Every structure is written in C-alpha cells, then in structure tokens.
C-alpha cells in the first residue's frame, strides 16, 4: 500500500505546491545568503589565503589586511637572520586611485609583492606572466574588473596616483570584498604608487624552512623583532575575515538574511503542514480510533514533512547551484562548498520536522468525539 | 471467547469547564454479549457518544468499570489504549471517515497496516473484505466516487479488517437513504448473529429497531429505563414504549 503520508501529500496538488514553494523559497534564500556569506568571506581573505606565506609580520593593531601600517624595512633583515626562515619579502597592500583613459578615477587595492619570491602574488593568471611585473610601471588586474577599470586590451596604459601604469596580465576570479579591485604590481612599483618611503614596508611575508615548526618560529620572531606583530597565515586570514564579516556587520547582515529565510521557510512550511493536518484531523482521529498509536500518526506527519523537505530541497538546489555556478563569472561570487550543500539538506529536514511539531501537537490533542461527529 | 464482550459498571464521566462540572454519564451499567446487537438510543446530549467513546477506549472514564472481553480498561495507561482498540474494536462512523487520499482498497489495507499486515497478504484480505460487503469491483475506486451506502460498506469492511470482537457503530445510517441504511443494518446484524461479534449501534433511526436484539435508552447520562430485549421488541414493546417520553426517538 502506498503510504498514507505520500497519498495525503500528493492528494491536494495546490497545497503541495504551496508547501513546496515554502520549502524551495527557504532553501534558495538560505543557500544564496550562505553562499554570499562564504563568497564574501573568501573575498576578504583570498590574498592572504593564496599568499604562500607561513607567517605575516604586521604593524601593531592591524585588524585586517587593507589596514596595514608602515614600518621600517630593516626588520626584514632581522627576519632573514632568524634560524628557520627560508625566505622573506616585503609586501604592500594599500588603497590607491586608478585613472581611466577617459579621466575618471576608480579606487583600487594595490598589492605590491616581490616577483622573485612571488609571495602574495597573483594566481590564476590567464594572460601575461608574473615575470612581466619585473619591468617598471607594470600591473596585473583581474579580468572581472576590466570594464570597471576601463581596460580594453593588454598593454594598455593608465595612471595610478598620477604615475604611468601598463597592464601586462590578467587573472581570473580574484575578487575583493571592498568595491576596489586588486591590482598586482612589484613591491618597487607599489612603493611609487603608494608613496611609501624606500626604507618602509607594510608587511613582511615569511616562509619557514621545510619541517620547521611554524608556531615555534613565530615565537622566535616575536622575541627577535620588536614593534611588530606576527601572525600565522591562517590567523591573519581569520582576523581579516572577522573584521569584515563581523566587525563591519556585513557578514552579520547576510547571516541575518539567511536566518530570516530559514524562519520564513519554517513558518510557511509549518502553516501549510498545519493546514494539511487540520484538514485531515478527522482522518487522524479515525486512525486513533482504529487503534493507531500516537507514534504511528506522528510518523505519518513527519513522513509528509520529510517528503516535502526532500522534494523542496532538490528543487531549491536546482536553482541555487546553477546560480552559484553562474555567479563565478561576476564580481560577487555565491560560494556553496559541498559541506554547506549537505548541511543545508540537514537544515531543510530539520526545518520541515520543526514545522510539523505544531501539527503533531494538534493531533495529540484531537477531541476524541470528533470522530463521532457527522 | 468470553460470553460478555462489554461489561460496564457504575460508569461516570464528568466534563469540567472552569468551575462548572457537567456529568455526561452517571452510574451507567451495561452488558453486551457476543453475537448481540444492542441499540443505544436517546436524545442529543444524552451521553450516547460519551458512552460509546469510553467503551471504545477513546475517552477516559471519571469513575466506574469497563471490562472489554474480560479485561478492565479503565485503569489502563493512555499508551495502552490504542492496543485495546486495535485488538478488540471496529468502528463505523456516521460520516464514514474514509481517507479521501486513499483508494477504497487502501482504506481497508490501512486497518491491516495497523496490525502489521502488509503487502500481498493485506491486498488479498482487503479485496476479500470488499467482496464480502459487495464492493469487490471497487478496490481501486476513490471514496469520492462512491455513494453514501457504498462508503459505509467500505467503512464496515475496514472495521472488520482487524477481525475485532466488538463493532461500535455511531449513527451508521444517518447519512444513508432508506435502502442503503437497511443494507448496512442487515450487514451489522449478520456480523453479530452469524459471526458472533458484539455490535453496539448508536442511532436515532427507528428503522434500526427491527435489527436489534436489545435497545438501551439513555437520558441525561443514565440508562433511562429497563432495556428492551429482542423478544420485547418483536412483541410490540416499542409500541408501548413510544408512548413514554423517556423512550421517544429523538
């Protein structure tokens, strides 16, 4: 026999549509919001995450990568003299102004690195080479921002802070959380573009000798190099993410939207499952009279909720996953890691079961005389 | 099988609403034997439905004793009552109470499902029961496609699915035309007389009198008068009783 739950669910097509709409709405809203959250989170720290460094030396009280402060480059030599350091290089991340051929200006995030070590350099290069940046006044930008920066072709010349800059390469998919595109250049060029003094840097990126304990090396650097802070790559990434996602409230807003999606989903599903239960109340009362235990009836209701959850999840994800895929071609990525996709399945199940609790409560309190009323 | 299917002694049911308490049943005594058709009659609000609900272990008694096939059920825990209903009772309702989303056959199978009878065995038994009530060709039909009489016959087939010793029928003919109503009553009598089921019918339908072995009249929560036996009914007892306000059919 087909299960009563399935028959009840599919019997009323309109109600089924409303229920599924509720689940799909919740799944899409929550997944897109979470995808945006992860997209933003990734964007805030992807320069750090792709830096290839083990440790970051920063000025005091630097809470996020765009907030670097200048300090003496002499500390680089102290770092290089520390046992366990395989390589170290100076690094700049700072906001600057990009003047387009038409004269309009656009804010950019200038990233100056040492092309020799390539710590903190660009990745996923689709045109040109990192080595091109060894030439003076050269930059690499992401093709996502070509229009924004008014770049028509490779080799085009623009202005950064009143100085000439030539585009010698393009990357693909390097997004920033701020609206300012990342522009990669050599440290030396970046010094000029940001008017950093010759003997200054903003960060020192360190790579440990293979096999050296990074934590121990950090302690050693903290003891040897005064006036700076030392973070592991993961720590500095987390610090930057926390600042942008929670310090500014941007992430919280996205998470609240996701939570609202969840709440709206629960309410819609609860309402429709409740309405369906109320419609079938006499039937549930009859089941009770026939000798069905409360557990049997709960299983019917929960099965209905589970079926709604599974169908709604599949439909919802068939919208969210393509949306995530196509978003990769834009400046705002919706990133849905597989654990999140699977987690959302669990969340959808939980949402629908939670939604059915009110109905279960209703069934528990069925007036027995109901079954005897004509 | 015990001789007495239902034995009710000193049964009282009080509904409390705030400070007000309404006594729906007041010291009811009643015995129903296997193979017997008992009609419960009385005006609306007299306590018939409350009595059948308590007998059927759907409602809890406030005081008194209810023995079902020799087993005291008044003191049972809430969680034990579904098993008693499943093992001993089949219900037939005025409104049929069929499951609209299920086919006729599946409605009967559902009762078997509760007894963990599933698959081909359940299908075969459901088909056989529908055959018995004359609806062998309606297995795949939906309740919405049936007449009232047919629906009630499906309900009877469903009530019989668990092979209960007791059938409790609440106004089983109220929604039926005369022919269908007689058909259903005939079927219920057959269940008692030919198959030894105890059948309790709550009804206002005077047509049911000729199918009853005994009539129990309830008024204001009490058995209003000595019950009439089938012999008394057949010998014109009803004609005599109809002159008394206490036994007027509502």
Residue A243, domain member (yes or no): no
The answer, yes or no, to whether residue A277 has pLDDT greater than 80, is no
Q: Where does the pLDDT of residue B232 fall: very low under 50, low under 70, confident under 90, or very high at 90 and above?
A: low
- Using DSSP's 3-state secondary structure scheme, residue B246 falls into helix
A148 and A258 part of one domain: no
**What pairs with residue A55 in β-bridges?**
A206, A232
Give the number of other CB atoms < 10 A from CB of residue B133. Answer: 21
A34-72 pLDDT, tens per residue? 898 899 888 889 999 999 999 999 999 899 999 889 999
Please state, in angstroms and rounded to a whole number, the distance separating the CA atoms of residues A315 and A28: 9
The arithmetic mean of pLDDT across residues B201-216, rounded, is 91
**Chain B hits for A5, Cβ within 8 Å:** none
Integer Cα distance of A283 and A12 in angstroms: 15
Q: How confident is the model at residue B229 (pLDDT cuts 50, 70, 90)?
A: low
In a domain, A258, yes or no: yes
* E runs forming strands in chain A: 55-58, 71-72, 85-99, 105-113, 125-127, 138-142, 157-160, 163-171, 182-186, 200-201, 203-208, 229-232
> How close is the nearest chain B Cα to the Cα of A287, in Å?
8
B127 contact A CB<8A: no
Does residue A213 share a domain with residue A94? Answer: yes
Residue among A1, A286, A374 whose CB faces B109 most closely:
A1
Least trusted range by pLDDT, from A96-105, A134-143, A316-325: A96-105
Residue A367 resides in a domain = yes
User: Strand B166-170 to strand B89-92: parallel, antiparallel, or no bridges (unpaired)?
Assistant: parallel
- Total count of domains within chain A: 2
In a domain, A241, yes or no: no
Q: Based on the domain organization, do A15 and A90 belong to the same domain? A: no
Q: Quick check: A371 and B58 CB within 8 A?
A: yes
At A210 the three-state DSSP class reads coil
Integer CA distances (angstroms), A201 to A47, A68, A160, B52, in order? 17, 9, 19, 90
Residues 6+ apart with CB under 8 A from B232: none
Q: Using one digit for the tens of pLDDT, what is the confidence trace for B154-167?
A: 999 999 898 899 99
Residue A320's Cβ-count burial label (10 Å; 0-12, 13-18, 19+) is buried
Q: How far apart (Å, rounded) are the C-alpha atoms in residues A232 and A45?
A: 13
pLDDT recorded at residue A4: 86
* Residue A333 shares a structural domain with residue A368: yes
Is residue A242 situated within a structural domain? no
DSSP 8-class letter at A35: H
Contact call for residues B105 and B126 (beta carbons, < 8 A): yes
Name which of A292-296, B69-73, B150-154 the model is least confident about.
A292-296
Given A192, A227, A262, which residue is the final one in a domain?
A227
Q: Please give the residue of chain B at the shortest CA–CA distance from A374.
A: B95
Residue B206 structure tokens: 């005077």
Positive or negative, the CA dihedral B167, B172, B173, B179 is: negative
Determine which of A9, A16, A289, A301 to mutate to test the interface with B (most B C-beta atoms within 10 Å). A289
> What are the pLDDT digits (tens) for B80-126?
999 999 999 999 988 888 998 999 999 999 999 999 999 999 999 99
In this structure, are A21 and A111 located in the same domain?
no
> Which residues in B lie closer than 8 A to residue A295 (C-beta atoms)?
none
Question: Contact A119/A207 with Cβ under 8 angstroms?
Answer: yes
A293 and A362 co-located in one domain: yes
For the CA atoms of A47, A51, A55, A57, what is the dihedral angle to 10 degrees?
A: -60
* Domain termination site, one of A166, A196, A227: A227
Question: Please, what's the largest Cα pairwise distance for chain A?
Answer: 93
B95 to chain A: closest CA residue: A374
Residue of A nearest to B85 (CA): A291
Q: A8 CB near a chain B CB, below 8 Å?
A: yes
Looking at the domain assignment, is residue A233 inside a domain? no
The partner residue sitting opposite A1, judged by closest CB among B83, B106, B171, is B106
Output the pLDDT for position B225: 66
Residue A294: its chain B contacts at CB < 8 A?
82
B99 vs A contacts (CB less than 8 Å): 4, 7, 283, 286
Dihedral sign for Cα atoms in the order B22, B28, B34, B38: negative
Same domain, A90 and A38: no
Residues A266 and A199 in one domain: no
> Locate tokens 């001993």: which residue?
B88
Say what the pLDDT of residue B235 is. 56
Taking an 8 Å cut-off on Cβ atoms, the answer to whether B53 and A368 are in contact is yes
Residue to substitute from B56, B68, B86, B101, interface A, most A β-carbons within 10 A: B101
CA-to-CA distance for A277 and A304, rounded, in angstroms? 10
The reply to whether A374 touches chain B by the CB within 8 Å rule is yes
Q: CA B238, CA B250: separation in Å to the nearest integer?
A: 14
> Which of residues 156 through 185 in chain B touch A, CB cutoff 8 A?
158, 162, 170-171, 174-175
User: Per the CB < 8 Å rule, is A7 touching B101?
Assistant: yes
Same domain, A197 and A148: yes
Q: Is residue A158 part of a domain?
A: yes
**Same-domain check for residues A19 and A75:** no
B225: left (phi over 0), alpha (psi -120 to 50) or beta: beta
Q: What is the DSSP string of B164-200?
A: -SEEEEESTTTTS-HHHHHHHHHHHHHHHHHH--EEE
Q: Encoding tokens for residue A171?
A: 């990357």
Q: Write down the pLDDT at residue A116.
A: 85
- Residue A51, in any domain of the structure: no
Instruction: Give which of B64, B66, B38 is closest to B189, Cα–Cα.
Output: B38
Q: Contact A1/B174, CB-based, under 8 Å?
A: no
H-helix or E-strand spanning residue B6: strand B4-17
User: Are residues B99 and A296, on separate chains, in Cβ contact within 8 Å?
Assistant: no
Q: What residues of B are in contact with residue A3 (Cβ under 8 Å)?
A: none
Q: Which of A284, A290, A363 to mutate to test the interface with B (most CBs of B within 10 A)?
A: A290
CB proximity A283 to B under 8 Å? yes
Contact B85 A294 (CB under 8 A): no
Specify whether A121 is located in the same domain as A219: yes
**Domain encompassing residue A283:** 2-43+249-372
Q: Please provide the DSSP assignment of A106-117 as one string.
A: EEEEEEEE-TTT
Place of tokens 């296997």: B34
**Residue A206 and residue A146 share a domain:** yes
CB-based contact B86 A372, cutoff 8 Å:
no
């Amino acid at each position: 026999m087909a299960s009563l739950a399935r028959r009840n669910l599919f019997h009323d097509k309109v109600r089924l549509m409303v229920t599924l709409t509720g689940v799909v709405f919740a799944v899409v809203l929550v997944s897109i919001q979470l995808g945006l959250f992860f997209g933003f989170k990734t964007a805030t720290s992807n320069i750090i995450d792709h830096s290839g460094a083990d440790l970051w030396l920063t000025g005091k009280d630097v809470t996020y990568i765009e907030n670097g402060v200048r300090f003496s480059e002499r500390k680089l030599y102290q770092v290089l003299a520390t046992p366990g350091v395989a390589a170290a290089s100076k690094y700049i991340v700072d906001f600057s102004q990009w003047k387009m051929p038409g004269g309009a200006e656009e804010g950019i995030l200038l990233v100056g690195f040492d092309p020799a070590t390539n710590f903190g350099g660009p990745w996923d290069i689709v045109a040109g080479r990192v080595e091109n940046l060894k030439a003076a006044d050269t930059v690499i930008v992401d093709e996502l921002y070509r229009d924004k920066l008014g770049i028509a072709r490779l080799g085009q010349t623009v202005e950064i802070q009143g100085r000439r800059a030539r585009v010698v390469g393009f990357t693909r998919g390097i997004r920033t959380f701020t609206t300012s595109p990342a522009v990669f250049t050599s440290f030396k060029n970046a010094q000029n573009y940001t008017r950093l003094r010759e003997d200054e840097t903003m960060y020192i990126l360190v790579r440990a000798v293979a096999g050296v304990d990074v934590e121990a090396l950090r302690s050693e650097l903290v003891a040897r190099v005064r006036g700076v802070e030392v973070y592991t790559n993961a720590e500095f990434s987390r610090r930057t993410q926390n600042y942008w996602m929670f310090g500014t409230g941007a992430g919280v807003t996205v998470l609240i939207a996701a939570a609202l999606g969840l709440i709206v989903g629960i309410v819609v599903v609860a309402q429709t499952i409740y309405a369906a239960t109320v419609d079938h109340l006499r039937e549930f009362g009859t089941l009770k009279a026939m000798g069905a235990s409360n557990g049997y009836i709960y299983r019917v209701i929960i099965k209905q909720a589970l079926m709604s959850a599974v169908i709604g999840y599949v439909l919802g994800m068939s919208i969210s996953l393509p949306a995530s895929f196509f978003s990769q071609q834009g400046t705002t990525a919706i990133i849905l890691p597989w654990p999140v996709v699977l987690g959302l399945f669990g969340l959808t199940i939980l949402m629908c079961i939670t939604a059915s609790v009110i109905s279960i409560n209703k069934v528990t309190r069925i007036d027995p005389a109901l079954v005897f009323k004509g | 099988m015990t001789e007495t299917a239902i034995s009710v002694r000193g049964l009282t049911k009080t509904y409390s609403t705030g400070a007000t308490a309404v006594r729906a049943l007041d010291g009811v005594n009643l015995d129903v034997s296997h193979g017997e058709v008992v009609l419960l009659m009385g005006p609306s609000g007299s306590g018939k439905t409350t009595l059948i609900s308590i007998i059927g272990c759907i409602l809890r008694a406030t005081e008194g004793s209810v023995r079902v096939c020799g087993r005291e059920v008044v003191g049972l825990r809430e969680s034990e009552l579904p098993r008693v209903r499943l093992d001993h009772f089949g219900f037939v309702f005025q409104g049929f109470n069929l499951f609209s989303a299920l086919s006729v056959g599946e409605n009967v199978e559902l009762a078997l499902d509760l007894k963990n009878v599933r698959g081909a065995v359940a299908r075969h038994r459901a088909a056989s029961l529908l055959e018995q009530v004359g609806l062998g060709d309606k297995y795949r039909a939906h309740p919405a496609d049936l007449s009232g009489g047919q629906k009630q016959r499906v309900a009877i087939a469903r009530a019989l699915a668990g092979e209960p010793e007791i059938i409790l029928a609440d106004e089983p003919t109220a929604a039926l035309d005369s022919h269908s109503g007689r058909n259903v009553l005939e079927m219920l009598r057959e269940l008692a007389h030919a198959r030894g089921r105890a059948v309790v019918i709550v009804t206002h339908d005077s047509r049911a009198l000729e199918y009853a072995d005994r009539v129990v009249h309830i008024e204001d929560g009490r058995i209003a008068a000595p019950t009439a036996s089938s012999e008394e009914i057949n010998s014109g007892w009803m004609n005599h009783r109809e002159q008394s306000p206490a036994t007027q059919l509502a």
